[in-house]
Amino acid sequence: MGRSLVRAATSHGDKVTSVGWTQEHSMEEMQRWQDANSIGMLCDIRVRSTIEAVIQKSIEHWGRVDIVVK
């Protein structure tokens, strides 16, 4: 469902940070999803520092975060 949501959002010109779970995805896999409107990262929601890193990187890259979808 996540990949479909990313495709739908980017097809409408939205900017997306897609996040994969560290235990199921690799950084190489997440990078394959990157294009002009999306970046891919890894996160483990049990580890606060990884959540903070995703938010910080998203703000640095896009300038803001409008929506978070889990």
Amino acid 54: pLDDT: 93
Amino acid 4: pLDDT: 87
How does pLDDT run across 13-33, given as a tens digit for each residue? 999 998 887 777 777 877 777
Global confidence as pTM:
0.77
Amino acid 11: pLDDT: 92
- Where b means 16+ CB within 10 Å and e means fewer, 38-68 reads bbbbbbeeeeeebeeebeeebeeeeeeeeee
